[in-house]
Amino acid sequence: MREQATSIEKCYHTALKRVKLPSHITVSATDLAQLPPVLASEEQLCLVFFNLIDNALDALGEQTGHIEVYGVWWKIRWMKRAGSRDRRER
């Protein structure tokens, strides 16, 4: 499996197509398009989303419910200040 720049949003949609979604449960995603590509195997990342959604469906069982996937991205950079340790800055 080759790592490459992989779209998180694309993998989410691919996984969603593979899941057997019962009629009493809905799934949606918010802000995945804003996420930058990640260096990963596309197939493995799709499998991660498939497993997350499938596990959430199992947890809901026969209950009516909704699964929401949120895309959140923090840019973290490292700074070095004179006379101090490295610090993370968001």
**Length reported for the chain:** 90
pLDDT at 85 over 80: no
First to last CA, the chain: 33
Higher pLDDT, 39 or 89: 39
Compute φ and ψ for 5, nearest 5 degrees: -65, 120
**The total number of structural domains that make up the chain:** 1
What is the domain range of residue 46? 4-89
pLDDT at 9 over 60: yes
- Does the pTM surpass 0.85? The reply is no
CATH code for the domain in which residue 73 is found: 3.30.565.10
